[in-house]
Chains A and B, each alone.
Chain A
């Protein structure tokens, strides 16, 4: 039997995630009207977006590198990180919807933050479709890289700038209180920061796994 030794940062990820889950569900939270215990969703909802943005940014960086060097390994990096980021974006939407159902009374509203995020995820679905409709490897890499960089420049204003310009139900917009640096209670801050770091690391871990799978598959196709 092969013993697999985990790298130190993977063990750290497990510990941090453990702390996030246990601390997130058990540590005391401020008692607020309407929010009540749903405030705990904050621990899982916010890190999703941080993780997503981290991976999208990484994939854009890889796309830049690919255009510069034409090395196919950067293209692999880009597609796999977009995949993981997409999953995190979907989870972010789902956790947000659960929270919205508990506090706003509905899963989906006409809120700009929700709708723009949905559009953002549509942009990345188009990225997958673009990739699947191109055959040649180098051409696919180049066009996908161009589209990835281009869509990122649209994606960022769509989810970070435009929603801030209108009134919104979402915490942090339209004078609603939110997770801020200084007005969150100490315990919450601790867990939220841990959760952010833990989920970014988890995202990176998933990304390395997918990347390894992709490279191995390619290797398999070449040898047989």
Chain B
């Protein structure tokens, strides 16, 4: 059931193409603006990490926001009658995780291309990107479900999501700093554990709470 739903999302995405390509262009232009804003120079590592996570933040919020906000009213009722809400939220989270992961790695590649690569420990950094993509996907999917029900959903999405994902962002920025400084991996274990714990928490709560949103 969940697999079918994920497949349906991917199929839809491939068929439309506009959304994913739109997001990619959004990402590239953001990276390019930061490149120009810093005067075509190699940026300092600390600004690199700040720019990188801000870019990712905006891209992922835009990515995930459309998972419920863009849907038509009739479709909701159709899905409501054939599948359980748990299946829907799990499939949406998986799909958003996939999308966020792809976009994050694309973002990393563009940053390396335009703004140099200060990362010393690439493996750890990739794990951080994956974990934070999972965190963004799980917490933002539920919030987008909430925001979609309100009238001014795009503003609401930003207002609701930014404070909530700051804790994920803080941890990621800290690990990034460790990666840039080339510290031993054991220095980041605490942060990685807490990041994973926060992810588990937000997935569990999305799973438990989503049926109540879906009903209205």
- A-to-B contact residues, CB < 8 Å: 67, 116, 119-120, 122-123, 126, 129-130, 133-135, 138-139, 142-143, 145-147, 149-151, 153-154, 157-158, 161-162, 165-166
A20–B48 Cα gap in the complex (Å)? 50
Main secondary structure of the interface of A (DSSP, over half): helix
CB distance from B118 to the nearest CB of A (A): 21
> Could you list 30 examples of A-B contacts with CB < 8 Å?
A67-B209, A122-B162, A123-B164, A129-B156, A129-B159, A129-B160, A130-B146, A130-B150, A130-B160, A134-B149, A134-B150, A135-B151, A138-B216, A142-B213, A142-B215, A143-B150, A143-B216, A146-B146, A149-B205, A150-B202, A151-B163, A151-B164, A153-B202, A154-B198, A157-B197, A157-B201, A158-B167, A162-B171, A162-B194, A165-B191
Contact assessment for B209 and A150 in the assembled complex, using a CB-CB cutoff below 8 Å:
yes
A146 touches B194 (CB 8 A): no
Instruction: Tell me the B residues contacting A by CB distance below 8 Å.
Output: 139, 142-143, 146, 149-152, 156, 159-160, 162-164, 166-167, 170-171, 174, 190-191, 194, 197-198, 201-202, 205-206, 209, 212-213, 215-216
The answer to whether A142 touches B139, judged by C-beta atoms less than 8 angstroms apart, is no
- Assembly CA distance A90 to B215 (angstroms): 35
Could you tell me if B150 and A154 are in contact, using CB atoms closer than 8 angstroms?
no
Assembly CA distance A139 to B213 (angstroms) = 8
Report yes or no: B166 in contact with A158, Cβ–Cβ below 8 A.
yes
Question: With the chains together, A165 CA to B192 CA distance in Å?
Answer: 12
Q: Would A122 and B163 be within 8 Å (CB), given that A139-B216, A153-B201 are in contact? A: yes
Contact present for B190 and A119 (CB under 8 Å): no
Cross-chain contact A147 with B191 (CB below 8 angstroms): no
- CB contact between B205 and one of A123, A143, A150, A157 (< 8 Å): that residue: A150
Q: A133-B151, A161-B194 are in contact. Are A154 and B167 (CB under 8 A)?
A: yes
Closest to A158 in B: B167
Q: How far is it, in angstroms, between the C-alpha of A153 and the C-alpha of B160 when the chains are bound?
A: 14
A165 to B139, CA, bound (A): 23
- The 4 tightest CB contacts between A and B, nearest first, are A123-B163, A122-B163, A139-B216, A146-B209
Q: For chain B, what secondary structure do more than half of its interface residues adopt (helix, strand, loop), or is it mixed?
A: helix
| CA distance in complex: A119, B164 (Å) | 8
Q: By the criterion CB–CB under 8 Å, are A157 and B167 in contact?
A: yes
Contact A126–B159 (Cβ < 8 Å): yes
User: How many A-B contacts at CB < 8 Å in the complex?
Assistant: 88
C-alpha spacing A151/B71, complex, angstroms: 25
A148 to B174 Cα, complex, angstroms: 27
CB distance from A161 to the nearest CB of B (A): 7
Shortest C-beta distance, B136 to chain A (Å), equals 13
- Output the least CB separation between B70 and chain A (Å): 19
- Chain B residues whose C-beta falls within 8 Å of the C-beta of A135 in the assembled complex: 151
Interface centre among B152, B167, B194 (most CB of A within 10 A): B167
The minimal Cβ–Cβ distance linking A23 to chain B, given in whole angstroms, is 37
A147–B160 contact, CB under 8 A? yes
A134 contact set on B, CB distance < 8 A: 149-150
Report chain B residues within 8 Å CB of A157.
167, 194, 197-198, 201
Give the residue among B152, B191, B197, B205 with the most A Cβ atoms within 10 A: B205
B205 neighbours in A (Cβ, 8 Å): 149-150, 153
Q: Of B142, B152, B213, which contacts A133 at CB under 8 A? A: B152
Instruction: Select from chain A the residue with minimum beta-carbon distance to B164.
Output: A154
B166 touches A119 (CB 8 A): yes
Instruction: Tell me the complex Cα distance, A143–B205, Å.
Output: 14
Cα A199 to Cα B121 in complex, Å, equals: 49
Q: 10 other contacts beyond A149-B205, A165-B190, with CB at 8 A cut-off?
A: A116-B167, A119-B167, A133-B150, A135-B151, A146-B212, A150-B143, A153-B205, A154-B167, A157-B197, A162-B171
Residues of chain B lying within 8 A (CB to CB) of residue A139 = 149, 216
A154–B191 touching, CB < 8 Å: no
Looking at the assembled complex, report how far the CB atom of B163 sits from the nearest CB atom of chain A, in whole angstroms: 4
